[in-house]
Structure formats: structure tokens, C-alpha cells
Amino acid sequence: MMKLSFSTLGCPDWTFPEIFAVASDLHYDGIEIRGIADEIYAPRVTAFKKENIPALKAKLNSAGLSIPILTTGAYLVGTGPEAEAEVMDYVMLAQALGVPYVRVLGEMTPEPSASDVDIDEIKRRYEALCRAAEPYGVTLLIETNGCLANSSTMRKLMENVDAQNKGVLWDLNHPVRFYGETPYETAENIGRYIKHVHVKDSVAGDDGSIKYVLTGFGSLPITECINELDKLGYEGFLSYEWVKRWARDLADPAIAFYQYVEYMKGIINK
């Protein structure tokens, strides 16, 4: 059965004990890490310091919680070696925490950039990072973000990357909003590579703008996406990415996280 988590992107003002308490109380299965409180860079978070990790892992295990993925902000076009350094910091933390996945991006913005993106550059850098991460037992997932929200482009990338620890993070919003894809089309193209899923809901304005809304209040075909994942035999996480850190006008995370888990259980428990 698919599992539920939320990204800490949605609760930028909470401490880790507060995040843990809410995840436990609402019966989530996991917590995706994208910064804690004022610190966006997970390797610098106090709770993840080497001396604190054994107690943290024991606490998570006792509550039936896990950390499915560490989410970097690193993107692979138009950046220098700092992107590789960031990814490897996260890879080493993932190994210490026993986390299987680390997220990277092709380009910086969710929407495709106006200019042509060098897919070959993404491929070279992603492949090299996958190989660097392999000895640590960590799989690098690249998100359906920017030009890679086009699942045909993503499929070609995956087919050409020579690495065993490659995979896709399917953000349900981006292929629909930026390329008009149906869930079937996306799953058909990249289904065999999907290891983690970001769920969010949105409405699109006539001017092409996108507004994120509480789950089920928008027009994204979330149920159809889950049905396609079910056909694929996917049993990973459906992780709620409530982008509160970047959009402070969004609803309080306590409301959003409760509403999400109730809505999604109504779909995956059918």
C-alpha cells in the first residue's frame, strides 16, 4: 500500500519536535526533509548532527515513522561545483540516517525556462552524481521539474543515464500544468522510474498563473494519478508538498496536513 508523508517545506516555523509530534498524531508514515525552521540546509540541522542521529532514528522507529527522502535545492544547469558539493553533503547525511533517496533538480524553476536547456549537461552531471552516491547506498531522484516536467524528455534522460541508482520524483502538478499531460501519459513514459511522488493541488488562471490550494480544492487529477501509480504497483510515498516556505499566504500547516491525510486516505484505502 502507498504511504503518506509531508515535506517540511510546508511548516517552515516548526521545530523538529513539533514536526515529529504532528506527523505522529496525524498517523503519517513519514517526514520528507526540506529544511527545519530557519535552517534550509539539512546537513546543518542540529537534530541531524552525528551525535544526535542514533536517538533520532530510535524515536522515529518507535513512532512508526521514517524519513523517505532528503530534498536538496541543487540544480544541474547553470551552476558550478557548489551543486555537486551540496548533493554529496546530503548523500552522506542520507547514509547516516538510513534514508534511501536524495532529490536533485534539472533546472531551478518549477516552470520550464524560456531558453533551451542543455539536456546533455543535466545528463552528464546527474550521471556523475549518481555514480558518486552509489558507494553510500543512496539513489538520486531527479524531479519532474522545469523542462523535465515533460515526461518524454525525462524518459529519454533516464534511458541514457548509465547508473543503477537513478530514478524519478514525480511531482504531480508540473507535467499537467506546464505540458498538459494526462496522468496516463506521464505514467506511460516514466512509470518504471518513479520512486517518490510529490502531491499538491492547484488551479490555473486564464493568464497561465498557478495558485496552490488545499488538496481536493483544485483541478489537478489527483485520483487519476493515484490510479496510475496503483496500476504500476507503486508502494512508495505520496508526499505532500505544501509550499508554505515560499508562499506565506498559504493556509497554516496544521490545517493543510490534517486535510491532506484525511483526503488521501479516502483515495488509497478504497
Could you tell me if 158 and 132 are in contact, meaning their C-beta atoms sit under 8 angstroms apart? Answer: no
CA distances, 190 to each of 111, 163, 240, 262 (Å): 19, 16, 20, 28
CA of residue 175 relative to chain centroid, distance: 14
What does the pLDDT read at residue 116? 84
Which one-letter amino acid corresponds to residue 20? F
Residue type, 29: D
Beta-carbon contacts of residue 210 (< 8 Å; ≥ 6 apart): 173, 177, 202, 203, 204
Q: What integer pLDDT is reported at residue 208 of this predicted model?
A: 81
**Which residue type occupies 153?**
T
Task: Convert 45-76 to b/e letters by CB count within 10 Å (16 or more is b).
Answer: bebbeeeeeeebeeebeeeebbbbbbbbebbb
Distance between CA atoms of residues 266 and 216, nearest Å: 11
> Left, alpha or beta for 37 (phi > 0: left; psi -120 to 50: alpha)?
left
Give alpha helix (H) positions in the chain: 16-25, 53-62, 81-97, 119-133, 151-160, 173-179, 183-190, 222-232, 253-268
Three-class secondary structure of residue 205 per DSSP: coil
Task: At 88, give phi and psi (nearest 5°).
Answer: -70, -30
83-98 tens-digit pLDDT: 999 999 999 999 999 9
Which cell numbers hold the place of 94?
A: 542520507
The three cell numbers of residue 228 are: 496510475
User: Can you give the pLDDT at residue 269?
Assistant: 81
What's the pLDDT score for residue 207? 86
DSSP state of 98: T
Alpha-carbon distances of 148 from 45, 110, 180, 198, rounded to whole Å = 30, 9, 13, 15
Give tens-digit pLDDT for 22-47.
Answer: 999 999 999 999 999 999 999 999 99
Q: Answer positive or negative: Cα dihedral of 108, 147, 193, 187.
A: positive
**Cβ(101)–Cβ(67) below 8 Å:** no
Give residue limits of the domains in the chain.
3-268
pTM value surpassing 0.95: yes
CA distance 37 to 14: 5
End-to-end CA distance of the chain: 11
Q: What architecture is domain 3-268?
A: Alpha-Beta Barrel (3.20)
Residue ranges in the chain whose pLDDT is less than 70: none
